[in-house]
Structure 1
Amino acid sequence: MKKNRYLLCLLLCGFMLYLAVPRLSVGTEGLEGIFAISWLAFALIVIAGNLTGLLYSPKKAVKGRQQPRINKKSRSY
């Protein structure tokens, strides 16, 4: 279920970047340039965090495939 959330967040972040990047002017001096650079930095942090969560999430264990172990006592003579 979490993988769906990570994927949705990645898609929304990509959509926001698609809309915002043409309007952001990184080369401008002053507050406008600082805002554009900081906005892009935060967007990259969001993408990195969601990719990390998506790629490094623990795998679910499949139940029923493993055969139960039978503990046998071994005798040594």
Structure 2
Amino acid sequence: MKKNRYLLCLLVCGFFLYFAVPRLNIFGEGLEGIFAISWLAFALIVIAGNLTSLLYSPKKSVPSTSIQVQERKRSRAINR
């Protein structure tokens, strides 16, 4: 379920970049250039974070029910 969210965030970020890049003036003077460069830098950070989460998320293994029962018994014994 989380992978769908990361993929959706990547698509939304790509959509924003598709519309913003032609309108941003990187070589503009003053605040215009600073805003364009900082906006693109934050967009790249968002893309990198979502790609990292999407590609390197740990795989969850489903333990068998007998192992879960044994772990519950152990935890109950330790807590007493």
- Superposition TM-score, scaled by structure 2 size: 0.76
Per-residue deviation, residues 38-69 of structure 1 (Å, max 9, x unmatched): 000000000000000000101132567xxxxx
Distance 1:61 1:24 in 2: 45
Instruction: List, as ranges, runs of 4+ consecutive aligned residues in structure 1 with deviation greater than 4 Å.
Output: none
C-alpha root-mean-square deviation of aligned residues, in Å?
Answer: 1.5
Match of 1:8 in 2: 8
Distance 1:35 1:29 in 2: 10
> What amino acid maps onto 1:30 in structure 2?
G
Match of 1:55 in 2: 55
Match of 1:72 in 2: none
Structure 2, gaps ≥5 residues long: 65-80
Match of 1:19 in 2: 19
Distance 2:63 2:44 in 1: 37
Bigger mean CA offset, 37-46 vs 55-64: 55-64
Distance 1:63 1:11 in 2: 34
Per-residue deviation, residues 7-39 of structure 1 (Å, max 9, x unmatched): 000000000000000000000110000000000
> What amino acid maps onto 2:13 in structure 1?
C
* Matched pairs, number: 65
- Superposition TM-score, scaled by structure 1 size: 0.78
